[in-house]
Amino acid sequence: RQLGLIAGALCAVIASTTLAADKPLQVATDAAYAPFESQNEKKEIVGFDVDVLTAAAAKSGLHLKFVNTPWEGIFATLGTGDRDIVSSAVTITDERKQSMDFSDPYFEAKQLIAIGPKSKITKFADLKDKKVGVQTGTTGDEVVQKLLGKTNPNIKRFESTPLALKELLNGGVDAVVADNGVVVNFIANNKNDKLKTIDDASFAKEYYGFAVKKGNKALLEKLNKGIAAIKADGTYAKIYKKYFGN
Ligand code: ARG
């Protein structure tokens, strides 16, 4: 009888560990950020980040499920345990490092200014007395705050970067400050509306990383091992070429 009990308990343990192993890691992504993450016609989440993280995770035997998650509050989902990873073109910053851990960087980016076709703006400093669109809580928001002041009503905050860029097309803002890749992609896909860009020398280089809950060393190690492996075997270069050319 006792043996039966022990066997039963063992089975339960085995069953629960297999279940846990099969449950994919939940990946938070704000999928309105092409070419890094967006939804295709079939509502599948696709993009550079998806390919990089999926390939890196596979090297470490991790299974993923990407879940479209609003940018506002996206980092809080790590703390609550609703998501295991944030993969959302997230810039690694000292401030964010206080409350979450980041993988090794997987992409270099920079802020870029988008302006309308007839705009006289030529440099970042010209935005001082202009209406500037940003995505709330992004590094674009942070750099604009430094110039205009955090509570300046001329900072127009949007829940996604494409919404800010659409408002620029509508004339509701004078400029948008956002990550270069997403601005360039938006303009390429809206060929009739001639937005221009300004690459200002004052903007610092930014590096994207995958964020995990602070202290989740085991997962970070697996991700970093995977990132290193796809960089070493040419997979990363192939994915890069697919989205950005050479
Ligand atoms: N790189 C910027 C940041 O970390 C913007 C990222 C926004 N990503 C997104 N999927 N909406 O603040």
Global confidence as pTM: 0.91
d(CA 130, CA 240): 35
Would you place residue 16 in the very low, low, confident or very high pLDDT band (cuts 50, 70, 90)? very low
**What spacing in Å lies between the alpha carbon of 130 and ligand 1's midpoint?**
23
The two counts, helices (H) then strands (E), for the chain are 9, 15
Would you place residue 108 in the very low, low, confident or very high pLDDT band (cuts 50, 70, 90)? very high
CATH number of 22-108+207-244: 3.40.190.10
pLDDT score recorded for residue 8: 53
Q: Looking at the domain 111-198, which fold is it?
A: D-Maltodextrin-Binding Protein; domain 2 (3.40.190)
pLDDT score recorded for residue 9: 54
| Beta-bridge partners for 196 | 115
Average pLDDT rounded to a whole number, residues 165-176 = 97
Please, what is the end-to-end C-alpha distance for the chain in angstroms? 68
Q: How many residues does the chain have?
A: 246
Would you place residue 103 in the very low, low, confident or very high pLDDT band (cuts 50, 70, 90)? very high
**What spacing in Å lies between the alpha carbon of 4 and ligand 1's midpoint?**
54
User: Tokens in use for 76?
Assistant: 């809080």
What is the per-residue pLDDT across 115-151, written as a single tens digit (0 to 9) for each?
Answer: 999 999 999 999 999 999 999 999 999 999 999 999 9
User: Tokens in use for 112?
Assistant: 């870029």
Average pLDDT rounded to a whole number, residues 197-217 = 98
pLDDT score recorded for residue 18: 46
Lowest mean pLDDT among 7-11, 12-16, 84-88, 213-217: 12-16
Pocket test for ligand 1, best of 97, 179, 203 (most atoms within 8 A of CB): 179
Among residues 28, 8, 38, the alpha carbon closest in space to that of 189 is found at 38
Rg (CA), the chain: 21
111-198 has the same fold as 22-108+207-244: yes
**What spacing in Å lies between the alpha carbon of 78 and ligand 1's midpoint?**
16
Residue whose CA is closest, atom 5 of ligand 1? Answer: 138
Q: Domain locations in the chain?
A: 22-108+207-244, 111-198
Q: What is the ipTM of this complex?
A: 0.98
Task: Look over the chain and give the mean of its residue pLDDT values, rounded to a whole number.
Answer: 93
